[in-house]
């Protein structure tokens, strides 16, 4: 609907679409870490099976939303790459860290569900994160050396 009524933002801020993956990944990490700490230090002796089931269910839902957001983000970034280019800014780091958080969150869900598809997707996301990190690091280093890294984009 957004494209019907409003244009997409300037290409310089295109990496910000990836940021939506970070809360999903960090939420899954936090939920599962919370459960692990509770299970390890269960001072009241509570049965935590229902809590584990609820956290696994909620983590799965968050992972599904994250996968939807990932696909949507890839399509939007593909549109930017076809119609325009995405000029380098320090905002390119938004390609790396949200994707890494989402990949770590998926690892929790994949281990919980014993899902081969998720395990394959986790490896793909890990590989993509490493490649993006190296590329963005290279672009940042080059920008620092040429003194262009800290110039504000012309939006």
Give the chain as a DSSP string. Answer: -HHHHSPPPPGGGGGGGGGGHHHHHHHHHHHHHHHHHHHHT-TT----HHHHHHHHHHHHHHHHHHHHHHHHHHHHHHHHHHHS-----GGGGGGTHHHHHHHHHHHHHHHHHT-HHHHHHHHHHHHHHHHHHHHHHHHHHHHHHTT-TTSPP--
**Selected residue with higher pLDDT from 154 and 110:** 110
* pLDDT at res. 2: 67
* pLDDT at res. 47: 83
* pLDDT at res. 1: 60
pLDDT of 7 above 90: no
Which residue in 54, 143, 130, 68 sits closest to 99, CA to CA?
A: 130
Q: What is the pTM of this model?
A: 0.87
**Selected residue with higher pLDDT from 3 and 94:** 94
Q: What pLDDT digit, counting tens, does each position of 99-129 carry?
A: 999 999 999 998 888 888 888 899 999 999 9
Determine contact, residues 154/87, Cβ cutoff 8 Å. no
pLDDT of 4 above 80: no
* pLDDT at res. 155: 64
């Amino acid at each position: 609907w957004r494209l019907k009524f409003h244009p997409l933002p300037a290409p310089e801020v295109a990496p910000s679409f990836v940021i939506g993956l970070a809360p999903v990944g960090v939420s899954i990490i936090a939920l599962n870490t919370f459960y692990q700490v509770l299970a390890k230090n269960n001072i009241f002796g509570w049965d935590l099976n229902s809590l584990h089931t609820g956290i696994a269910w909620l983590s799965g839902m968050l992972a599904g939303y994250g996968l939807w957001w990932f696909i949507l983000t890839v399509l939007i970034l593909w549109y930017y790459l076809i119609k325009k280019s995405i000029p380098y800014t320090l905002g390119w780091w938004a390609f790396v860290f949200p994707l890494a958080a989402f990949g770590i969150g998926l690892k929790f869900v994949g281990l919980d569900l014993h899902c081969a598809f998720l395990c394959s997707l986790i490896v793909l996301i890990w590989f993509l994160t490493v490649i993006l990190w190296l590329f963005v690091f290279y672009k940042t280093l080059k920008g620092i050396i040429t003194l262009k890294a800290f110039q504000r984009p012309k939006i």
